Chains A and B, each alone.
Chain A
Amino acid sequence: MTLPATTPTTGVQVAKDPSARSTLLRRSLQQMLAFAGLIAIFIVFSIASPVVFPSYTNVIQILFSAVVIGLLALGSTLVIITGGIDLSVGTGMALCAVMAATFIVTWHLPVLLGVVLAILFGGLVGMVNGISVALLKLPPFIATLAMMMVASGLALVVSNKHPIYFDAGAYTDISTGTLIPGSNFPNAILVYAVAAVVAAVLLGRTLLGRYDLAIGSNLEATALSGVNVHKWTIIIYAVAGLFTGLAGVAISARLGSAQPATGQGYELYAIAAVVIGGTSLSGGKGSILGTVIGSLIIAVINNGLQIVSVPQEWQNVILGVVILLAVFADQFRKRT
């Protein structure tokens, strides 16, 4: 026999509940794990390339390269938390870039207005996805696969299959200019940082976030609790589309042109970032901070492998293995 338990058993005294604490710990562990992974990868590359890799210029470069996938992943996080998926963010981004160019270059609208309209156009694309999923009851995979093709085709149609070039200046400054005088800190990183904070607030502090988590956890129970789940599903997909639109602006501002034939494949990197960040593909839980870390992990790996001269083809192999490891670690932790 073991010694009698010394834990007090009255209701009042167990108020400091060990299991509640352990769930809290477990939840933050999920992010800590991703964060520890990011640090570990960073250290490994810093050892492999002590001069170039950890330099200020290169770190800025890493952050800069994380922006586009990072923005897409923010929206994808919201969608994946509902238990859905959005395959249309890659080509949707290209379409939004083309729309921005159409508004600003072809129609000569003011840059600010053009940017806002391009972002709203992304929201419209997302809204259509949401309607397909919530009202037409299409599986999200199929609905957004179709949208992926539609968007890719429309981008070519609208642009007449040619890249549209922006004048250097206000528009390209959105990505490559800098608000911090005398530094070479690109605005794109600031845009991403602000977008990430907005997404985190949306998820953590607003009705949208609560309903997002509830829908993903148990759609039917949420509906029977008196939440209009159709309306909120559409809103969530539409908001995800706004981030796609912003990514379209960011990438075209960086390239100085809208490239209609691009975008395919970005959606998978966005999903990878979300998953590495610990958001569950089955829905109901997830975090923006995790997704940001996930996006950074992808950027660090790509950048680091380039610097230590690993051939491009091997970079994908390694990234794939990292995704497997991340998801496995997450499930292993859940099982134990």
Chain B
Amino acid sequence: MPDPGIDAQTALHDPNLLLQAEGVTKTFPGVKALSGMRFDLRKGEVLALVGENGAGKSTLMKLLTGIYPLEEGRFWLEGEPLAVKNPKEAQERGLAIIHQEFNLMPDLTVAQNIFIGREPLTGGFFTRPRALEAQAKELIDRLGLPLDPSAKVATLTVAKQQMVEIAKALSYNARVLIMDEPTAALNDAEVEVLHDLIRRFVTPQTGVVYISHRMPELKRIADRVTVIRDGEYIDTMDMANATLDQVISRMVGRAIDTSARPENVRTDRPVLMRVENLSTKDVLRDVSFDLYEGEILGFAGLMGAGRTEVARAIVGADPRTSGTITLRGKVVNPRNAAEAARFGIGYLSEDRKRYGLMLGHAVSHNIAISSLADKFSRFGFVDDRAIAKAATQQRTNLRIKTPSVAQLVTNLSGGNQQKVVIARWLVKNSDVLIFDEPTRGIDVGAKDEIYHLLNRLASEGKSIIMISSELPEVLRLSHRIVVMSEGRLTGVLSAGEATQESIMALATHPDDDLPPASAADDADHATQEDLR
């Protein structure tokens, strides 16, 4: 790796650069989130930063704004070293960051929100509402925003709330504007307004870092695009010359281990569960698919595509606005997770600690909870011996590493906690298992074990929906792959035709202006076929 000291010298000598990163590395226990990451933002440009889920974009932003301490690597702002300790200091240095989640107080006015903590005061104590409003109005007019300074934030649309965030960020005289997925919640007209605002902000002295998954949008707003993959810098391209497929192939272009492929893929299985026209109020739009007996159906898509929402809507954890769920030809439409469990549908959440486990309780209790009423009790009295027996059986069956089933779940590793949740649904004898990110927070060795377990469950006749943000995982296990984007199902790929590129193309092209999925990269496709 180059000596950062030398880079510091070169940085000082390029007056065209606004913001630079070099050799930025961040390690979390067990994971390298960023490794030798770099990028440079020129004055007067919009730089798009793209990468898959978990590529390290957010970590980079958090390092830049001091939310995480910078341990390895360097940032420069106009040739000056930049190492801020907290977001406030970042703001004072001229970095404005707009997060996906807004940081506004809904019951305060626009003006109060923009100048929170910096209100004009009389005698250091009494507020001056009129001065505050005038100050806010001046800023809003200067930025050309359609905002009323005295309006309560809660009454504004999402797009206008975002404008408040932007006004607040720019009120610090920012030179660099960093936006994390700014258009995720906006409609097309609102996106245009936002892009106008960005174009007005960009002067020969300022620049914008624009993080987004939405490929078509980048063409319109970005000058250059930097691709991150697995925490590493991959490439930077001029947007004018780059095709979207090129960008995608850089995003996913890792070499994947093709030796492990889906097992027992067959096309002659009967349909077990049919989902038709599933919609929810906010996210899902007419999602329909079939789940076959004994198959692993992968669900791929970017963050926010609506995959978790599909699972929650199927089991009735979130209300459906439309949709029919048919199990073995019979309409079931579970109204809540209790009904879904009775029909034999089990949901294993991505967030095990929050939605899966009773951490302070015994392994056996966590395994038995779903089956207490129908398997482990008589006249309301719980049969602890039967619970211990069934739990011990599952401990052997799934090889849960715990000295005893009386152990508290909180003392188990992530992989073993996941097995406890799996055991719960096996004891319940569920036919449909919906795994949401089954290997999240699980270390590499244990991941393999979970993969084997999923294959085994499918071969034993369980039907599995596996939602995963890790493409290699999806490709390794799925018999078929459903791809989602922005609440819609954008394609179903067979194990044979699925590649990282074909999946990512479906996941990032919400509009229909894209090449057919299987044509994404024939060469690569062929190689994978040959390898099998």
List residues of A whose CB falls within 8 A of some B CB: 11, 14-17, 19-20, 23-24, 205-211, 213-214, 217-218, 220-228, 284-285
List residues of B whose CB falls within 8 A of some A CB: 315, 317, 336-338, 340-342, 346-347, 349, 354-361, 365, 368-370, 372-373, 377, 380-382, 401-404, 406-408, 411, 424, 428
Taking a contact as CB atoms under 8 Å apart, the answer to whether A20 and B358 are in contact is: no
A3 shortest CB reach to chain B, Å: 23
Q: In the complex, what residue of chain A is closest to B357 when comparing beta carbons?
A: A221
Residues of B within 8 A of A210 (CB): 365, 368-369, 372, 382
CA gap between A14 and B369 in the complex, in Å: 27
CA gap between A119 and B203 in the complex, in Å: 77
State which of A11, A16, A207, A224 has its C-beta within 8 Å of the C-beta of B382: A207
| Contacts known (A17-B407, A23-B408, A206-B380); A225 close to B361, Cβ less than 8 A | no
State which of B347, B372, B407, B428 has its C-beta within 8 Å of the C-beta of A23: B407
Taking a contact as CB atoms under 8 Å apart, the answer to whether B349 and A224 are in contact is: yes
Residues of B within 8 A of A218 (CB): 354, 357-359
Taking a contact as CB atoms under 8 Å apart, the answer to whether A226 and B365 are in contact is: no
Residues of A within 8 A of B368 (CB): 210
CA gap between A225 and B315 in the complex, in Å: 11
A22 shortest CB reach to chain B, Å: 10
Residues of B within 8 A of A285 (CB): 360
Ranked 3 nearest A-B pairs via Cβ: A226-B341, A17-B403, A217-B358
Query: 16 A-B residue contacts at CB 8 Å?
Result: A11-B401, A205-B382, A206-B377, A206-B380, A207-B373, A207-B381, A210-B369, A211-B372, A218-B354, A221-B354, A221-B357, A223-B338, A225-B337, A225-B424, A284-B361, A285-B360
Residues of B within 8 A of A223 (CB): 317, 336-338
Residues of B within 8 A of A228 (CB): 336, 338
State which of B341, B355, B407, B424 has its C-beta within 8 Å of the C-beta of A20: B407
Best-buried of A23, A223, A225 by chain B (most CB within 10 Å): A225
CA gap between A16 and B342 in the complex, in Å: 36
Which secondary structure dominates where chain A touches chain B? helix
Residues of A within 8 A of B382 (CB): 205-207, 209-210
CA gap between A130 and B478 in the complex, in Å: 44
Q: In the complex, what residue of chain A is closest to B405 when comparing beta carbons?
A: A20
Residues of A within 8 A of B373 (CB): 207
Taking a contact as CB atoms under 8 Å apart, the answer to whether A207 and B404 are in contact is: no
State which of A11, A222, A224 has its C-beta within 8 Å of the C-beta of B315: A224
17 extra interface residue pairs, beta carbon distance < 8 Å, beyond A209-B382, A221-B357, A226-B338: A20-B406, A23-B408, A205-B381, A206-B377, A206-B380, A207-B373, A210-B369, A213-B358, A221-B355, A221-B358, A223-B336, A224-B347, A224-B356, A225-B424, A226-B342, A226-B428, A227-B370
| Contacts known (A207-B382, A221-B357, A284-B358); A19 close to B407, Cβ less than 8 A | yes
State which of A17, A206, A209, A226 has its C-beta within 8 Å of the C-beta of B370: A226
Q: In the complex, what residue of chain B is closest to A27 when comparing beta carbons?
A: B408
B370 shortest CB reach to chain A, Å: 5
CA gap between A284 and B341 in the complex, in Å: 23
CA gap between A33 and B133 in the complex, in Å: 60
Best-buried of B349, B360, B365, B406 by chain A (most CB within 10 Å): B360
| Contacts known (A213-B361, A226-B342); A207 close to B372, Cβ less than 8 A | yes
State which of B355, B361, B381, B408 has its C-beta within 8 Å of the C-beta of A224: B355
| Contacts known (A206-B380, A210-B372, A225-B341); A217 close to B361, Cβ less than 8 A | yes
CA gap between A221 and B341 in the complex, in Å: 13
Q: In the complex, what residue of chain B is closest to A211 when comparing beta carbons?
A: B372
Q: In the complex, what residue of chain B is closest to A14 when comparing beta carbons?
A: B403
CA gap between A224 and B434 in the complex, in Å: 12
CA gap between A107 and B498 in the complex, in Å: 78
State which of B315, B358, B408 has its C-beta within 8 Å of the C-beta of A214: B358
CA gap between A272 and B98 in the complex, in Å: 47
| Contacts known (A223-B317, A224-B349); A214 close to B361, Cβ less than 8 A | yes
Residues of B within 8 A of A11 (CB): 401
Residues of B within 8 A of A222 (CB): 358, 369
CA gap between A23 and B412 in the complex, in Å: 13
Taking a contact as CB atoms under 8 Å apart, the answer to whether A15 and B404 are in contact is: yes
